[in-house]
Amino acid sequence: LDSAGNYNISIIHTNDIHAHLDQFRATAGTDCDPRYECAGGYSRIKTKVDQLRKGAKDSLLFSIGDEFQGTLFYSYYGGEKIAETMNVLGYDAMTLGNHEFDGGDDKLAAFLANLTFPVVSANIVTNHTGISSILKPYHIFPQHSLAVIGVTTPVTKGTSSAGPGTNFLDPIEVIQATVDAIKTKEKITKIVAITHLGYEQDIELASKTRGIHLIMGGHSHTLVGSMPGAAGPYPTIQKNLDGEDVFVVTAYRWGEYIGYLDIAFDPAGRIAAYTGGPIRLTNTTAQDPIMQAKVDAWRAPFDAFAKEIVGSTTGLLDQSGCQSGECTFGNLISDVMYDYRIKSGGNVDGAFTNAGGIRASISAGNITRGDILTAFPFGNAIVDLSFTGKELWDMFEGIVSKVNSAGSAVTSFVQVSQSISITYDPSKPVGSRLVSLKVSDPLQAVDLTKTYTLATIDFLATGGDYFLTTPKTDFIVLDKLDEVLTAYVQEHSPITPAITGRITKLSSK
């Protein structure tokens, strides 16, 4: 305690590292290329965290989730090397992001079992004992008489691969109940939240609760404070239900920045004074040599495989436009799925996939195995699904209306093969935006009573992104999407990316 009776502590937070164990090319997000500025990497985080901790009497290091998914370190090792790195860095607590569920509950449980620090999320209810035995709503640091509560975005249920017995409650209600319980049971006033919800949601949370004065967030990859293009200050200060200040902070993504706050908590747990801000980690921060040697050794086994050239493309296979309309990469992958099913004897009328499943673009030139795995990291299998024409109409209506016929918010746009044609009018009311739907080769207006077979990915078949109002259970799992794409690229290079007009958005005047 200082002379005013305040408790001083340094708080460091990271979020959405997305398996960037190694440095990457700043802004471009591709592998580090020494001709350009490189950023991030756990060896830099280690150097900076050690330095900050040396200068602080008391400190806590938090991860706000989405450690999984984004590089081959995750695709190749699952959570194993991430856990090892986080243990070495000495995280004090973590909350779970949506992507921690990408490999299903079992993979997450294996990761959790390897961690040597507490993992908190108050709004996750699960019957998976490998998760429930480790995950706690909050954790108390008795030496600081400080509590940390975690919370995970409820969109996880539809956008990741959590098991059917794993569910996500309303964060605001749960957090308030947890704060109240901590105050009465533990007699603690310093309560902080680590929230994988998104920046806007964090501000809303701050405004609708009482008893928390620091919210460290993630998920939305929001630029704040000194970061160019910042959406808000660091900290963003929001009044809570008691009219007190709540600090909302976040640190963008991939470990390009870490968040840092030196805080004086008053006896009521409010923030009496602070200094700090986001710290950018680039070439000017030395890489911890021991940590970097580990990362280099882990990279070696997949690097040679990843660099193998399988073909080429004459232009950009673009992922960036896939959520708003037809995109070149979406056309290619859907056509590849359709072609694969026709050539393997499937009686399919077309193929579709989710825009959100296409994770990266591939630029003109050579295509490597690493490019393909980075774009399609989920290990999805291709499946055939049968639909009545009516079901197909309803599915595409749901997608263009962004809410399906069961009322669930559809969380991705769609991409389709050349044998599907969609026209929609976004100015029409939700539920009547689809203007025309044609299916089959040659294209024909969909017959609502006929049965169609379409190729897609297992994630969507089982209800992912809420494309299907009723998930299907009766499908056969075929070859893996990344492998089918690799074979296609090997056979058909150079690939010529094209927009063909298969998805038409009518523009209103």
Q: How many helices (H) and strands (E) does the chain have?
A: 14, 26
One DSSP character per residue, 442-459 reads TTEE--TTSEEEEEEEHH
Q: DSSP code of 508? A: P
Phi, psi at 73, each rounded to 5°: -60, -35
For the record, the structure tokens of 99 come out as 């992507």
- Using CA atoms in the order 391, 393, 395, 398, what is the torsion angle rounded to 10 degrees? -140
The option from ligand ATP, Zn ion, none interacting with 223 (CB < 5 to 8 A, set by class) reads none
Across-strand partners of 439?
420, 444
CB nearer to ligand ATP: pick between 41 and 70: 70
- Using CA atoms in the order 417, 418, 423, 424, what is the torsion angle rounded to 10 degrees? 20
Please tell me whether residue 105 binds ligand ATP under the rule CB under 6 A: no
Cis peptide before 278 (omega within 30 of 0): no
Calpha distance 27→210 (Å, rounded): 38
Closest residue to ligand ATP in the complex (CB): 356
Residue count at the site for ligand ATP (CB under 6 A)?
22
Task: Sketch the per residue contact string, 443 through 482, with ligand ATP: x for CB under 6 A, - otherwise.
Answer: --------------x-x----xx-----------------
CB nearer to ligand ATP: pick between 354 and 419: 354
Task: Sketch the per residue contact string, 3 through 32, with ligand ATP: x for CB under 6 A, - otherwise.
Answer: -------------x----------------
- By CB under 6 A, what part of segment 220-279 binds ligand ATP? 221
Which window, 122-130, 225-233, 254-262, 352-360, contacts ligand ATP (CB under 6 A)? Answer: 352-360
Say which residue the tokens 């340094």 belong to: 10
In angstroms, give the least distance from the CB of 360 to ligand ATP: 11
Please tell me whether residue 287 binds ligand ATP under the rule CB under 6 A: no
In angstroms, give the least distance from the CB of 82 to ligand ATP: 15
In angstroms, give the least distance from the CB of 451 to ligand ATP: 25
Across-strand partners of 120?
136
Calpha distance 491→476 (Å, rounded): 26
Helix (H, G, I), strand (E, B) or coil at 250: strand
Q: DSSP code of 362? A: B
CB nearer to ligand ATP: pick between 99 and 502: 99
One DSSP character per residue, 338-354 reads HHHHHHTT---SEEEEE
Q: DSSP code of 18? A: T
**Contact of 485 with 376, CB cutoff 8 Å:** yes
**Contact of 183 with 139, CB cutoff 8 Å:** no
Interface contacts to Zn ion, rule CB under 5 A: 66, 97-98, 219
Q: Which of 483, 422, 426, 428 is nearest to 454 (CA)?
A: 422
- By CB under 6 A, what part of segment 33-92 binds ligand ATP? 66
In angstroms, give the least distance from the CB of 117 to Zn ion: 20
Please tell me whether residue 380 binds ligand ATP under the rule CB under 6 A: yes
Residues with Cβ within 8 Å of residue 134, at least 6 apart in sequence = 109, 112, 113, 115, 119
The option from ligand ATP, Zn ion, none interacting with 210 (CB < 5 to 8 A, set by class) reads none
CB nearer to ligand ATP: pick between 9 and 249: 249
CB nearer to ligand ATP: pick between 191 and 327: 327
* Radius of gyration of the chain, Cα coordinates, nearest whole angstrom: 24
From 195, 354, 374, 419, residue interacting with ligand ATP (rule: CB under 6 A)? 354
Please tell me whether residue 357 binds ligand ATP under the rule CB under 6 A: yes
Across-strand partners of 258?
279
Q: Which of 280, 275, 198 is nearest to 232 (CA)?
A: 198
From 141, 265, 298, 378, residue interacting with ligand ATP (rule: CB under 6 A)? 378
From 98, 121, 123, 166, residue interacting with ligand ATP (rule: CB under 6 A)? 98
CB nearer to ligand ATP: pick between 374 and 412: 412
Please tell me whether residue 160 binds ligand ATP under the rule CB under 6 A: yes
In angstroms, give the least distance from the CB of 168 to Zn ion: 12
CB nearer to ligand ATP: pick between 201 and 412: 412
* Contacts to ligand ATP by CB under 6 A: 16, 66, 97-99, 102, 159-161, 219, 221, 354, 356-357, 378, 380, 411-412, 457, 459, 464-465
